[in-house]
Amino acid sequence: MLDIRRISTSRWWHKKKNWILFVIFLFLVFVRISKGSIFKDFYYFISKPFWPGQFQKEVILKSRDQESLIKINLLKKDNLRLREILSLQDSSDINSISAAVISRKTGSWWRQLILNKGSKDGVEIGNTVIGPGGLLGRVNNTSFFTSSVILLTSPESKVAVWLDRIQINGLLVGLADDNPSLILYSKDADIKVGDFVSSSPASTLLPPNIPIGIVQSIDEPFKETKTAKISLLANPHVIDWVQILKVKIQ
């Protein structure tokens, strides 16, 4: 009787073992077919209690807010720095007048712009005119409704400029073409192609540090001077709106 029970139990366990192995085999096949997605889902549930909670979320959001605030402050500083370089005033400042270009003579000998603002708007002869990129020229004539601007490319234009890299002043002279000439009264000046040119801090006609152009080419020294061609940053051929600066030069 005992032997019969043992044989019966052995057969039952053997069948159960086979079923267990079969189930394991099916499970492995399923894992193979599903490419392990079941493990990922399983990990999803068992790791859920350890996910970052509300505290971690608040820390992250606070860090993002701080990062955004820092970026805004940096942008504000850059904006102020650029305004100082361009000698721009705030939009509400009466020392800056926006004007539209209603006529242009950029290919002739005279090389000038006609603007839709004149003496009735407070424009005066000698006011500085800038556009996108930098300095364009100065107001040389006004009527009640309009004003004319003598461009840097005009032979009538002579402007004191500054080369920051070599810390030297020069004179920018219009030649009736698109590239005025820079004259340096020192043949030993270490001027290089790519040097940045701005209005001179020593100028009595213009506000200082207004971007003007970049040295395009350098001529051979002639006597005690060195000359170079300047590529202007503000292109009068395509500019439709300008700013007239009502800045008093001390």
If you average pLDDT over each of 29-38, 89-98, 138-147, which comes out highest?
138-147
Q: What angle do CA 209, 75, 85 make, to 5 degrees?
A: 5
User: Measuring CA to CA, which residue among 198, 156, 197 is closest to residue 174?
Assistant: 156
**pLDDT digit string, tens, across residues 217-229:** 988 766 678 899 9
User: Measuring CA to CA, which residue among 154, 146, 139, 155 is closest to residue 205?
Assistant: 139
Residue 160 CA to residue 187 CA, distance in Å, equals 18
**pLDDT digit string, tens, across residues 148-182:** 999 999 999 999 999 988 989 999 999 989 999 99
Give the rounded percent of residues in the chain with a pLDDT score beyond 70: 60
| Domains of the chain in sequence order | 2-84 (no CATH), 96-245 (2.40.10.340)
Residue 208 CA to residue 247 CA, distance in Å, equals 11
**pTM (whole model) above 0.85:** no
